[in-house]
Amino acid sequence: MSRQDDRTPDQLRPITITRQWLAHAEGSVLVEFGGTKVLCAATVQDSVPRWRRGSGEGWVTAEYAMLPRATNTRNDRESVRGKIGGRTHEISRLIGRSLRQCVDYKALGENSILLDCDVLQADGGTRTAAITGAYVALADAVAWMRARKMCARDPLIRSVAAVSVGVVNGVPMLDLCYTEDVAADTDMNVVMTGEGLFVETQSTAEREPFDRDMHNQLLDLATAGCAELTLIQREALSA
């Protein structure tokens, strides 16, 4: 089945990862999944949250936000509204959980890495693009710390990447753009390690329930997509 951008159902959108996009952040990446563009910035702090002090362990956390004109209509800034939305909280927690799988807290020492993921332009899959790009920003921030001997050993123990999959007009598809996402009968976001292990899956029957066979087909698509994203991450970090 042909898609609006002429991709096959099992094909990712064009993926671009541009490192060192910001001058001041210890790690920064502009990640592009087709029309979706997310700026991921990693900040290193030589401290940890109060509840973590004295443990000898570090911390990794994330915040997600969307610029007012990231979408086809303007949305008010949540800071102006005075309340962070539930979707923003949920995605921030997802990114944080995913990236914490990459780090040995003891090796990190009592340091924190904060990952800010700001959506500049949204065309579906913003949370999965944010996770994929944030890992590269995290890796650069860890390299910055190691160059300054802030870590006793390498705290980066694995990579993570994420991709969306879904069922559109009865066809399982990889890496949905916005028009596919809103038309999907089933929508799933999958986070995986570079070794092919699952970190998190979020699957929802938007219109029609799905069976085990379809669930497995979607997981197979996501597994192949995340493996390809892992290679793209490695190529970006070796450049």
Which residues of the chain are modeled with pLDDT < 50?
A: none
pLDDT computed for residue 77 by the predictor: 84
pTM, 2 dp: 0.96
> Counting Cβ atoms within 10 Å, is residue 22 exposed (0-12), middle (13-18) or buried (19+)?
middle
Q: What is the DSSP string of 81-149?
A: HTS--HHHHHHHHHHHHHHHTTB-HHHH-S-EEEEEEEEEE-SS-HHHHHHHHHHHHHHHHHHHHHHTT
pLDDT computed for residue 1 by the predictor: 57
pLDDT computed for residue 238 by the predictor: 96
End-to-end CA distance of the chain: 35
